[in-house]
Amino acid sequence: EKGTYPHYMLKEIDEQPIVIRKIIKEYQAGDNELKLDEDIRSAMKAADRIYIIAAGTSYHAGLVGKGFIEKLAGIPVEVHVASEFSYNMPLLSSKPLFIFISQSGETADSRSVLVKIKEMGHPALTITNVPGSTLSREADYTLHLHAGPEIAVASTKAYTAQIAVLAILAADTANAKGIELPIDLMKELGIVASTMEVLTDQKEEIEQLARDYMATTRNAFFIGRSTDYNVSLEGALKLKEISYIQAEGFAGGELKHGTIALIEDGTPVVALATQENVNYSIRGNVQEVVARGANALIISMRGLEQDDDAFVLPKVHELLTPLVSVIPLQLLAYYAALHRDCDVDKPRNLAKSVTVE
């Protein structure tokens, strides 16, 4: 039930710190130990390449997860949109492991890939919020998101849960392979949970930004580099699906190869700047769009902030920034939709789970 909340989406945004704490509890075995099935551990260790298959927001979480698995566990990862993979399968490695990410566990596009790769004899792990769902039953292994029911069509807490569980899976695999971790993951996830609470208490600031930047615009751009680019795709998807503002996420460096032609006086450009190694270059991209009249809304992280930034996130571990940078983007989409009188929880033309291909 949504209780005193006007919308499920807002309730689910607010539940994110609780979900992260629940995930920590469910997956922590003891000091520096993670509780993952031995079978999953072996499957991860045996894989020479991982194929992540998903759709929509779950695909965006997969893009972030690729970074974790490659950086922490040293296994190459490809992330594919399910509906494309089905009909255009790439050459597979000799020992592939498939990871299906799906909040509902019922997405038909993902299931069609699962059926095909099972026929080919490959192992599959499903990461889902609904154990017992089709994708969970038909895969060899399941990891549970523990996010609680997600009712709003726009996915919020499932995205952050997926990212947290993917980080845990990557860290567990690194442990199993004897690779030293550059992060005390459970401790840093605890810091993320507290930071999420700070952010969900800043609704008024974000509501004001939604008024200032999104009230009347027909389009909006989200830019970032590296992991911020992955989050910008999610920010754009959130905004478009519930507020019907045409929104696109772009890699900062790619703008000048065409998209910058769309920037006009007043076009909102939301820029993420949470990564030290690309802070300088994303700032350069912001200048390029501002010079063409864009209305830049910069979301940065403590330590990397500059004077004109609209919103500064408290500092969290560099690997985990998507878990916090997405929150202002979720709230921005929520308030933009609200101010435009859109049906926040049930946007037009969309279903919560897409069970047709």
Active site (catalytic) residues = 352
Q: How far apart are CA 283 and CA 253, in angstroms?
A: 11
Dihedrals φ, ψ of 293, to 5°?
Answer: 100, 0
Q: Please say which residue, 101 or 310, places its beta carbon nearer to ligand M6R.
A: 101
Q: Is 56 in the site for ligand M6R (CB under 6 A)?
A: yes
- Tell the residue number behind the tokens 């609470």, with chain if given: 197
- How many CB atoms within 10 Å of residue 115? 11
State which of residues 16, 83, 86, 107 lies at the interface with ligand M6R (CB under 6 A): 107
Minimum distance from CB of 336 to ligand M6R (Å)? 14
Q: How far apart are CA 226 and CA 230, in angstroms?
A: 7
Q: Is 55 in the site for ligand M6R (CB under 6 A)?
A: yes
Q: Is 58 in the site for ligand M6R (CB under 6 A)?
A: yes
Residues 223-262 that bind ligand M6R (CB under 6 A): 237, 241
Q: How far apart are CA 85 and CA 324, in angstroms?
A: 30
Q: Is 153 in the site for ligand M6R (CB under 6 A)?
A: yes
**Six token digits for residue 29:** 């075995």
Report helix, strand or coil for 10: helix
Sheet holding 311-313, edge to edge: 246-251, 219-224, 268-273, 295-301, 311-313
Q: Is 83 in the site for ligand M6R (CB under 6 A)?
A: no
Binding mask 108-127 for ligand M6R (x = CB under 6 A): --x-----------------
Buried b / exposed e over 127-147, threshold 16 CB at 10 Å, is bbbbeebbbbeebebbbbbbb
Q: Is 102 in the site for ligand M6R (CB under 6 A)?
A: yes
Q: Is 345 in the site for ligand M6R (CB under 6 A)?
A: no
Q: How far apart are CA 103 and CA 157, in angstroms?
A: 10
Q: Is 12 in the site for ligand M6R (CB under 6 A)?
A: no
- Tell the residue number behind the tokens 């939709």, with chain if given: 337
Dihedrals φ, ψ of 76, to 5°?
Answer: -65, 145
State which of residues 83, 104, 226, 279 lies at the interface with ligand M6R (CB under 6 A): 104
Q: Is 353 in the site for ligand M6R (CB under 6 A)?
A: yes
Minimum distance from CB of 31 to ligand M6R (Å)? 33
Q: Please say which residue, 153 or 319, places its beta carbon nearer to ligand M6R.
A: 153
The conformation of residue 181, written as its DSSP 8-state character, comes to: P
Q: Is 155 in the site for ligand M6R (CB under 6 A)?
A: yes
Minimum distance from CB of 141 to ligand M6R (Å)? 17
The conformation of residue 101, written as its DSSP 8-state character, comes to: E
Q: Please say which residue, 102 or 243, places its beta carbon nearer to ligand M6R.
A: 102
Residues in contact with ligand M6R by CB under 6 A are 55-58, 102-104, 107, 110, 153-155, 237, 241, 353-354
